[in-house]
A and B are shown apart, each in its own frame.
Chain A
Amino acid sequence: MATERMQVLTKGFFKENPVFIIMLGLCPTLGVTTQVINGIGMGLSVIFVLVFSNIFISMLKNIIPNSVRIPSYIVIIAAFVTIVEMVMHAFAPSIYQALGIFLPLIVVNCIILGRAEAFANKNTVLDSFLDGVGMGVGFTMALTLIAFIREVFGAGTITLVPMGGFDGVIEIPLFYTYPVRVLTLAAGALLLMGYLKAFFEWNANRKRG
């Protein structure tokens, strides 16, 4: 039983990674990943929304009539997205600005509705919670990886949270002087995603032998 639970939690990390394997939620994946901190901020927001919507949908799965389930899920998800928007606006205004339109667009992020439909409405509250955490963490890891590559090579910096005397920006010596600018642009994001996806395909093929 315990190992099954662990699997529910960890399958989203690599085996069913929402971005690289299931290919859901691509718009924010490419739209906000120009800086590492934006990738992390987006990831955390999605974890919050995903976990709570999974919990609520799983609790209400016997109450919501089958024919109106999709609109009901959307309302639940939209309510949590509104909470995230308000909290971010109040406590992290710079990330709120940077994420811009992609913050309200979490509502239509296919990962969240996808997990509601594919997992939360069939499973227990605890499993749905674990699934939400796992998928959310997998999403955050994918976003952080893409943002890391784009920012290090494209701008020569790593932007994190400013703390104390540290202004939050780490400069990478060589790339800071000679950045590969295309990676920070829209075109670079699409190219990088193509190569990363090809890498994961190659890796999967290699394991299968």
Chain B
Amino acid sequence: MAYVAIFITYIFINNFILTQFLGLCPFIGVSKNSESAIGMGMAVTFVMGIASIITWLVYNLLLLPLDLAYLQTLSFILVIAALVQFVEMIIQKNSPALYQALGIFLPLITTNCAVLGIAIMNITEGYNLMESFSAGIAAGIGFTLALVLMSNIRERMDLHPVRKAFKGVPIAFISGGLMALAFMAFDKALLTNLLG
């Protein structure tokens, strides 16, 4: 049950983009067409899942026993940067097709605040290893959901007349705001109603 709650929380209630403002740069930058939105979303979900596990292990098996918890930020960002590089190399070698699809997005992920965000959140929420992994995957799915919805809206909007000053980024922000209003329908009450 706890895992269902984590999934619902991170996909809908605390959607990373629409309520927490983590990962806004790709939300505006990579949402121009739905193909790249799906590619970016998949790459982020993948990295967030693995990063959640590794940063959890680093924090609990390395930093805590050595009494170095203040190095959290520094070590997490290094682990994430190394991980992204490593994932990129593995995908490039073993699955050229996947690399074609995700390759250009991988370098962008190191500086995506959603990845470091979930790693830090797992620690502050006190999740165990499996819960951290679930939270990472769920937050990635939530990110993908918002990104894909946004890209569909923007594709539609290209066909409609928009005032010159609002073209591009401004109207994207405003659509994002309206989407966030819709996502406010998902709140903590929903979770208690669903799971008791």
Q: How far is the CA of A101 from the CA of B117 in the complex (A)?
A: 7
Closest to A84 in B: B73
1/0 per residue, CB under 8 A from B, across A80-114: the answer is 01100110000000000000010011011110010
Contact-residue bracket for chain B: 35 or more
Q: Tell me if B96 counts as interface (CB < 8 A to partner A).
A: no
Q: How far is the CB of A184 from chain B (nearest CB, A)?
A: 12
Q: Which residues of A contact B172 (CB under 8 A)?
A: 194
Alpha-carbon gap, A118 to B23, bound state (A)? 22
Bound Cα distance from A127 to B87, whole angstroms: 37
Let me know if B81 and A71 touch, CB within 8 A: yes
Q: Enumerate chain A residues within 8 angstroms of B173, measured Cβ to Cβ.
A: 190-191, 193-194, 197
Q: For residue A202, which residues in chain B have a CB less than 8 angstroms away from its CB? A: 164-165
- Residues of A contacting B73 in the complex (Cβ-Cβ under 8 angstroms): 78, 81-82, 85, 104, 107
What residues on A are CB-neighbors of B111 within 8 Å? 108, 110, 113
Q: Are A23 and B121 closer than 8 Å at their CB atoms?
A: no
A179 within 8 A of B: no
| Chain A 181-201: CB-based contact to B (< 8 A → 1; otherwise 0) | 010011111111111011101
Number of A-B residue pairs having CB atoms within 8 Å of each other in the complex: 128
Chain A interface main SS type: helix
Q: Which of B147-196 contact A (CB under 8 A)?
A: 163-167, 169-174, 176-178, 180-181, 184
Q: Is the interface of B mostly helix, strand, loop or mixed?
A: helix
Q: Which segment of A26-34, A58-66, A135-143 sits at the interface? A: A26-34
Residue pair A194, B170 in contact (C-beta under 8 Å): yes
Give the distance to chain A from B147, nearest Cβ to Cβ, in Å.
Answer: 14
Interface contact B184-A185, CB-CB below 8 Å: yes
B21 nearest CB across to chain A (Å): 4
Contact B25 A110 (CB under 8 A): yes
Name which of B19, B117, B121 has the most chain A CB atoms within 10 A of its CB.
Answer: B117
Chain B residues lying within 8 Å of A85, measured Cβ to Cβ, are: 70, 73
Q: Does residue A205 face the partner (Cβ distance < 8 Å to B)?
A: yes
- Write the nearest CB–CB distance from B13 to chain A, whole angstroms: 12
Other A-B contacts than A27-B23, A105-B116, 15 sampled, CB-CB below 8 A, are: A24-B25, A26-B24, A27-B24, A27-B113, A28-B21, A31-B21, A70-B110, A85-B73, A105-B120, A108-B112, A191-B174, A191-B177, A197-B170, A198-B163, A201-B166
Listed in ascending order, the chain A residues whose CB lies under 8 Å from chain B are 23-24, 26-28, 30-31, 70-71, 74-75, 78-79, 81-82, 85-86, 101, 104-105, 107-110, 113, 182, 185-195, 197-199, 201-202, 205
